[in-house]
Structure 1
Amino acid sequence: MLVLLLLLLAHPLRAQTTAGDSTSRPWNGKSCAVVLTYDDAIDADLDNIIPALDSLGLRGTFYIIGSAPAVSRRMSEWRAAAARGHELGNHALFHPCDGSLPGRSWITPDIDLSKYTVTRAVAEIRVNNTLLKAIDGKDRRTFAYPCGDLTIGGVRFYDGLRGDFAGARGVTGILRTPDKVDLDNIPAFAIEDRPASYMIDLVRQAMETHTLLVFLFHGVGGGHAINEGRAEHLELLRFLKAHEDQVWVAPMVEVADWIRSISSP
């Protein structure tokens, strides 16, 4: 009996399978992780996106601007979405962006991040956290940099907020393995008027390379100047659902906390 056990343990196929499982399914037991994120808290989130996600049993992260009209008018719907497992992430109270950068003529002085102090930016983001907790009752969530802007006068304002969030999503499209994800600036692929084949190909790449893929959407089916087609978005969701045995689809806060848990000593 002992000899048989030793032979089984030493069998090369057995050893190869064990190693393959640990390296090919590193994301919570799946080949890759996909996070669906949606910015700015617009009516299309509640009208188009959340119903599509719910219909397939998928959950996303919605980065909420606290001052957005769709927040005050439809607060009960946001609360219900959070109760079904969607994350309400923090996208700042007023979505300030750096107006000193090229192509930012649309930014008005009152939301010009270059005119903020770090103290003001941190305070407004924390106020938005308070608002979000009043909606969903949760203390744990992630942040998304408005316009992807990281600094005020050369100072990284998120440094003062690191303890407030599980992580912060950026806007740079890169695929990363778990050990390479920077939780202070999580990469994301911005999607605008893309065919479903482009998005599905990104998922396939993530599956092959065992990496994290974060999608960054604004409008889906209208409602925003940055828009993705409703049919194309739904085709992506159906692909993710069909491959849920290989793809871990979860809100950003869950993925960020999982990354933190495996990297902790």
Structure 2
Amino acid sequence: MRFLAPLLSAASLLWLGLSAGYAQTKPSTTWNNKQCAVVLTYDDAIDVDLDNAIPALDSMRFRGTFYLIGSSPVVAKRLPEWRRAAQRGHELGNHALMHPCDGSLPGRGFVTPDNDLSKYTVSRAVSEVRANNVLLNAIDGKTARTFAYPCGDLQIGGVKFYDQLKNDFVGARGVTGGLQTAAEVDLTNIDSYMINGQTGEQLIDLVKKAQQSHTLLVFLFHGVGGGHGLNVDLKAHRQLLRYLKAHEKDIWVAPMVEVAEKIKTVQAGPAAGKVKG
């Protein structure tokens, strides 16, 4: 028996090691039985959304979320293309009618007097967001969608204007970087990583961290291959999509509205407090 005991001990340690490894990689029931969820979002309704981003997503059969500014000339000029994108499953999210930002904050010299959120009333902000919903519904015929805060600004005079819009949307995306389990997500201010100049390897590394932690990862893109001061290189964007495609059995890639609806269901469940994304 004195020779058997070390063998049993070694076997026990091996079993524990394998179990720990499995626990790190097993699929999560929260994210459609996959390890994590990844949402690809694109802001501001610019030409490169239609010229670069959507064709890249379509080539991989991925669906993203495009946050449209209602007053953007690219919405008016290319409305049939936005409608076709929605028909292929991309979400047309709400990024407000005029994209107002708080001009009183540091580094906001780009904010014009007409679009200064600090000069808005809450009722004006809410009305413009709802007007943009009417426009988006006319394009895609849908009523369920998500909102993205222009410039990540949540308040007007200390008041959270989105509080009046909670019933208009499934959720709202913010600009604070972070990986969260479904139980940790605040659907009124969903974390996201703003992308500007990162390499493909850096983007993929974020995905790997989400896989390991079984969390939600939201990418916030503006320009893809140009078209905006905040930009990601086409090659880096392509590398990310290829990694997601190669690992799609482990990664749930879906529009923000679908992921937010899933999170809402999880958080409303009887064991919501115990959920580990």
What TM-score do you get using the length of structure 1 for normalisation? 0.92
Q: What one-letter code is carried by the residue in structure 1 that aligns with 2:223?
A: G
Q: What is the CA–CA distance in structure 2 between the aligned matches of 1:138 and 1:131, rounded to whole Å?
A: 11
Q: What one-letter code is carried by the residue in structure 1 that aligns with 2:86?
A: A
Residue-by-residue CA offset, 1:14-40 (whole Å, 9 max, x unaligned): xx79x9599742311110000000000
Residue 261 of structure 1, CA deviation: 1.0
Superposed CA RMSD in Å reads 1.7
Is 1:170 paired with 2:174? yes
Q: Secondary structure at the match of 2:145?
A: coil
Q: What one-letter code is carried by the residue in structure 1 that aligns with 2:126?
A: V
Q: Secondary structure at the match of 1:216?
A: strand
Change (3 A) 1:20 1:69: same
Q: What one-letter code is carried by the residue in structure 2 that aligns with 1:34?
A: V
User: Quick check: 2:25–2:211 contact (8 Å CA) kept in 1?
Assistant: no
Is 1:151 paired with 2:155? yes
**Aligned 1:238-249 pairs, distance under 5 A:** 238-249=242-253
**Residue equivalent to 2:6:** none
Q: What is the CA–CA distance in structure 2 between the aligned matches of 1:21 and 1:176, rounded to whole Å?
A: 16
Residue-by-residue CA offset, 1:63-86 (whole Å, 9 max, x unaligned): 000000110000000000000000
Is 1:58 paired with 2:62? yes
**Residue equivalent to 2:190:** 186
Identity percentage of aligned residues: 64
**Residue equivalent to 1:7:** none
Residue-by-residue CA offset, 1:39-94 (whole Å, 9 max, x unaligned): 00000000000000000000100000000011000000000000000000000000
**Residue equivalent to 1:258:** 262
Unaligned runs of 5+ in 2: 1-14, 270-277
Q: What is the CA–CA distance in structure 2 between the aligned matches of 1:229 and 1:110, rounded to whole Å?
A: 32
Change (3 A) 1:132 1:261: same
2:75 to 71, 77, 86: 71
User: Quick check: 2:24–2:213 contact (8 Å CA) kept in 1?
Assistant: no
What TM-score do you get using the length of structure 2 for normalisation? 0.88
Q: What is the CA–CA distance in structure 2 between the aligned matches of 1:253 and 1:201, rounded to whole Å?
A: 24
**Aligned 1:129-144 pairs, distance under 5 A:** 129-144=133-148
Residue-by-residue CA offset, 1:106-158 (whole Å, 9 max, x unaligned): 11100000000000000000000000000000000000000000000000000
1:94 to 95, 98, 107: 98
Unaligned runs of 5+ in 1: 1-11
Is 1:40 paired with 2:25? no
**Aligned 1:179-258 pairs, distance under 5 A:** 179-258=183-262
Q: What is the CA–CA distance in structure 1 between the aligned matches of 2:72 and 2:39, rounded to whole Å?
A: 23
Q: What one-letter code is carried by the residue in structure 2 that aligns with 1:263?
A: Q
Q: Secondary structure at the match of 1:177?
A: coil
Q: Secondary structure at the match of 1:194?
A: coil
Change (3 A) 1:215 1:22: closer
